[in-house]
Structure 1
Amino acid sequence: MIKWFSNLKVRYQLLIGMIFITFAALILISQLSYTYFYRRNTSEVLKKAESSVHMAGASLSSQFNSLSTATNHLLVNEPFPQMISDINNRNFTGYAKYFSEITSLTEPFLQNHDLVSNVLICGEDKIVFSPSSLGISNYFDKLFPEDIWSYPQINVLPTRHSSSFRQGDVIPIAYPVSSNLTTSSLIYRDQPGGRKARFLLLIDTAQIRAYFERMSNRYTYCMYLADENGNPLDLSKDQYPDFFLPEIKTWISREESTAAGTVRQGPEELFLTMEPVSFCNLKVVHVTRKSALLGDTKELRSFFILVWFACFLASVLLSLALSNLLTRNLKTLSKIIEKINDSTYQKRTEFPHTDEISLLGIQLNRMYDTIQLQLEQIKEEERKKARAEIQMMSEQINPHFLYNTLECIHFQVLNGHGQTAGEMLESLGRYLRTTLNVGKTFVSVEKEVEHVTLYMEIMNRHSASGIQFKADVDPSLKDLLVMKVLLQPLAENCIKHGFSGMVTGFEPVPPQIIISVTSAGNGRIRIQVSDNGKGIDIKKASALMRAESPESKNHFGLHNIYKRLQTCYGGQAIISFTSIPYLENSIIIEIPVNPTGS
C-alpha cells in the first residue's frame, strides 16, 4: 500500500492525503460528538429517573404510612376488636350485626383514601367480612391462591383481578391481627393456639399505575412497585415478562438504598433506578431501555451523516482545487524536464511567481542554459577529437604492404620489366593519394571502390595469390558519401584470414572477393564484402571487433573500422557476419545515406 501510494503522482498524493485527513477528522468529530450527546442525554435521563423514583418513593412512603396509621385507628374501633376476637376464639355469631357496623366505619375510611378500593376481614375458615359482601368463601381461593396465613407480619401481595367486587385489579396488603378484649389491645401478629385472622386492604392497582404514569417521562420504559425480593407488585407477568426475570429481581433485592445500575437482557440493555419505600420494605423501580436513548439519537445521527457527506463532498472539491493549484507548477516542471529529455525544449517557460516551485523552475532554466552551453563546448571538442582520430586511423598504412610493393617494383626494374614496374608505381600512387588525402573523412562510393580495386591490383601483382576481385555498385549510389578507407581493410582482412595457409591451385574454386553496394531502404546503404575462404569465427570476430583494444595486431583492421564507424555514424552503423566456409563468408555493414559528420 505504501509503495503504491509512493508511486502516485504528487497531485494524487496530495488529493488522497487531504481526503484521508478530512475523512478521519470527520469520523473522529462525528464519533466524539455522537458519544458526547449520547452520554449527556443518558446522564439527563438517569437524573430524571432518579428524581422520579425519589419523588415516587417519598410520596408512596407518605401515603402508605398515612394509610397504615389510618388502618390502626380504624381497627381499634368497635366492632373490629370484637370481630377479630370472635375469629380468634371460633365464635361465629352476629355476622349481620358486624356487617352493618363495619360498613358505617369503612365508608369514611374508603372515601378518605383513594388508593384503597375495599377492605376485607377473614379467618382461616375463609369466611369473609366486607362492606361489599357478607361472604365470598367460594371465591376466596381464586382471589388468594397463595397461603396468606403463613406470613407472620404485614405483607404486600402482587396484583390480581378482583372480579367478585367488580373493582378490577387490586394489590392486597395483609395485616395479621389478633385482639385481646381483656386488655383492649390490638396486636399485628397471630396468637399462639388461636385461629388466625387477617385484615386485608385492597389497593387499587389502576391508581398505582396511574400515579407511576404521571411520574414517568418519555424515556421511561416502565415504573413499578416491587417487594423486597424484587417481585413486581402492580404488574402482571403477561404484560411485562422481563421484570419477572431472575437478573432484574436479583439486582433489586440486592440494593437496600437508592441505587442505579444496568442489567442486560438479551440484546437489550436496561437502565434501572431504585428508591426504597418506608413501608414493608417496598421499592419503587424505574426502567429505561437503552434502545429508547439510542432512538432519540437517531435524528442526531442522521444529522451528523448528512453534515458528514456535505463536508466530505466539499472537502473533495476543495482538495481537487488545492491539489491542482499546488501541482500546477510541478506539472510545468515535469513537462520542461520531459522536453529536455526529448531535446525539444526550445521555447523557455517563464515563472512569474516567487514561490519555491517557481524559483525552482527559474533555476532549472538557468541550469539548462548552462548545461546546453557546456554540451556545445563538449560536442565541439569531441568533434575535433573525432576528426583527428578518424584522420589518424584512416591514414594508417600497413608498412609490410608498402615495403613488399616497393620491393616488387624494384625487382621488376632489375629484371628489365619497366612497363610492369611503371604500372605498379602508377597504381601505388593512385592508392596512396586516396589513403593520404588529409582533411577528408568521407569520399564517394565510386572513389572508395576505386581505392580497394587499386589495392587488389597491387596485391595480385606482387604475389601469386591470383585472387579474383569483383565490385558490384548500384549506379544510383556511386556519388553518395561513405567513410574513407572502409573497403580496403575489409578486403585485406579477407586475404589475411580467409585465404592464408591455402595452397594455390588446390582450392575447390579459385579464391575470390566480391564487394556489393546496394540500398537497404529507409535511407540506408548496405555494403557486403564476401570471400570463399576458410570462414569466419563469428563469435570471436564480434568480440575482438568491439574490444577496447584488439587482442593482437592481426585484428587491428576490423577493430579500426568498427571504431571509425561508431565515431562517424554512432549507433546507426550496424556490422554483422555470415559464414559458410569455402562458399561465402560475408561482412555486412549498414550505414545511413547521410553521415552526421559529413
Structure 2
Amino acid sequence: MIRRKPIQMLSSFRNRMILIFFVIIILPFLLFAYYAHIKSIEGIMNANTTIQTSYLLQARKNFEIYLNDVNDQINVLIGNKRIQELLEREPKNPAEEESFTVNMLTVLYQTTPLVDAFRVRLFPIDPRTYPTYMSTIGESETVVGEEWFQRSKASISPTWHLSEPARGKSARPLLMYVKRFSGLYDQTPRGIIAADLSEDQIKRYFSPSDQVEDQKLLLLGEDGTVLYDSTANEWTGKPFPARSYIDAREDGSESLEIKGNTYLATSVGMDSEPWRIVSLTPMEQLTGTIDEITRLLVIILIVYLVCCVGVVAYITVNYTQPIVKLVRLMRRSESGDFRFSAPLATRLDEVGWLYRGYGSLIDRIEGLVEEASHSERKKKELEFQVLSHQINPHFLYNTLESIRWKAENHGRTDISEMVSALGNLLRLSLNSGKEITTLAREIEQVKAYVLIEQARMGKPVRILYIIDEETLAVPFLRLLLQPLVENAIEHSVRQNFEQGKIVLTGRTEGRDVVIELSDNGNGIPEEVLRRLEADEDTRSAAPGASRGGVGLRNVNDRLKLYFGSAYKLSIETGEGIGTRITLRHPILREGAQSTSDLLR
C-alpha cells in the first residue's frame, strides 16, 4: 500500500498539473515576486503620498473657507437687530414669553436659511426662563446642564461638539458649531447659537476617490476622536485606532496596521482648528507599474511560453481529446439520442470521473423526463381549476351591484356609496389579473379606499391629491399606494381627526415617477423601520415579532424585487415631525402588462 500511494496521487489530473507548473513556473516566480514586491511597495508609497498630500491640502483649504463662511453667516445672524431686541430682557409672564416665541421663530425662519448648515438653533442664555420657546423648537430646558452648553457659555470663542442623535431625529452624527454672543452695545451674554454640520455638508470637502476601494477620509479632533468618517461614519465618535500616529502630529505618510489591515496613512493639520485630516488607503488596493519589473516580466514570460507549448501538447493528447469525445456524446444527447458508451470510464483520474458522471447524468435525465411529463399533466389540472374559479370575482361584482341597487331603492345612499366604493376597490385591486395598471387607476383605488374608511369611521379623512397630469397615464405596478395611505391613516388621522391630514403628490423626475406621501402624525415606530430592512428569515426569527408594518414591507419588497434596491422606499419620520415616504417608480415602456414585461 505504501509503494502504490505516490502512483495513485500522480493518476490525478490536478496533481499532475500542480507538479508540472510548480517545477516550470512557480519556483522561478517566487524569486521574481520577492523582487517585484519590494520595488512595487516603494513606488506605490511615493506616488500615493504625492497625490494624497496634494488632495488633502486642497481639501483643507476649501474646508477652512467653508468654516469661515459659516462663522461669518453666524455673525450676521447674531447681529440681527430684531434678535438682539427680543433677547434684551427676559419675559415677565407667560403672555410675554409666548409673544417672544412667536416673534423669535418668525425671525429665525427668515434668517437661518442663509446659514449653510443642516440646522441652526438659537438658545437663550438661560433656557429655563423660556419653557414655551424651548418646547416649540423641540429642545428640553435641561440642555443648560449639558457639558457642551456650559463650555460654550463660559467661553467667548466658538466651540465644537460632536453629537450623535437618537434614531428618529437624525440617523447620522452631527458636528455642532456653538458660539455664545452678547449684546451689540454691551458685553452682557444674550444667547448661544448652535449650527449643526451634517455628513452631507462635510462630504462636499472630504470625499474619497472612486478609483480606490475602501479608502477612508477622516477628520480628527484635537484629542484624536474621529469627527467625520467618509465610510458611512463607521469610526465617527470613536478614538483613532493608531494613537501613536496622532500623537506625532506631523504632516506626511507612513504605513499603519489597523484592525488587521495595512493602510498607507497621509495626514495634514488644519490652520484654523486643532484638527487633522487623514487619508487611509488600503495597501492591497494600490497598484503600480515599474519599468524595470515590466521588462524583466516580458523576458520571463517569453521563456515560460516555450515551456508551456510542451505542456499544452501533453494536455492535448492526454486530456483534450478524451474531453472532445465526451462533447460529441453530449451533442448526440441534445438531439434526444441517450445511447451511451463509455470507452474511457475505467480511467482513475478526473477524465474517468467525467465519463462516469455523464453516464449517471443520462440516467437522471431519463428520470426527469418522466417526472416532467407527470408535472405537465398536473399543470393542466391546475389550469382547469383556475379557470373554474374565475367566475368568483364576477359573481362578487354582480352581488355588490345588486346590494347597491337595493340600498338606493330604500333611500340608503350611504350604504349605496360604500358598496359602490367597495366594488370599485375590488375591481381596481384585481386589475383583471394583470400586475401592471396606471397611476390614474392607483389614485382611483386610493380614493375608493379613503371613501370606505370615511364611512367606517364616520368622520372625514383630510387628504389632498397633487398629481401632475402627465404622470397619470404612465404604467404603474399595482397595489403600491393603497398600503401607504392605509399606514398614514393609521398613524395620523385615526389619532387626531381634527388636525390629522395627508398629502399625496406625484411628479416626474427624469425617467422616474416620484410619489411622496406626507402626514403630520406621530411617526412610524422604530421597530417597524428596523423590520422594514430585515430579510424574511430575520423577521420570522425575531422573538415577539408583530405584524406591524406589513403593508410597508410588502411595498418595499416588491419595489426592490422588480426594480432593484435603488427603488426602495425612502422614509423620513419622527415624533413631532410626522412622516414623509418617497416612492420612486421607473417609467415603464408602453404596453407593459405583467411583471415579466418590466424594463424589458
Structure 1 length normalisation: TM-score? 0.38
Between Structure 1 and Structure 2, whose CA radius of gyration is higher? 1
Higher RCO (C-alpha under 8 Å, 6+ residues apart): 1
Structure 2 length normalisation: TM-score? 0.38
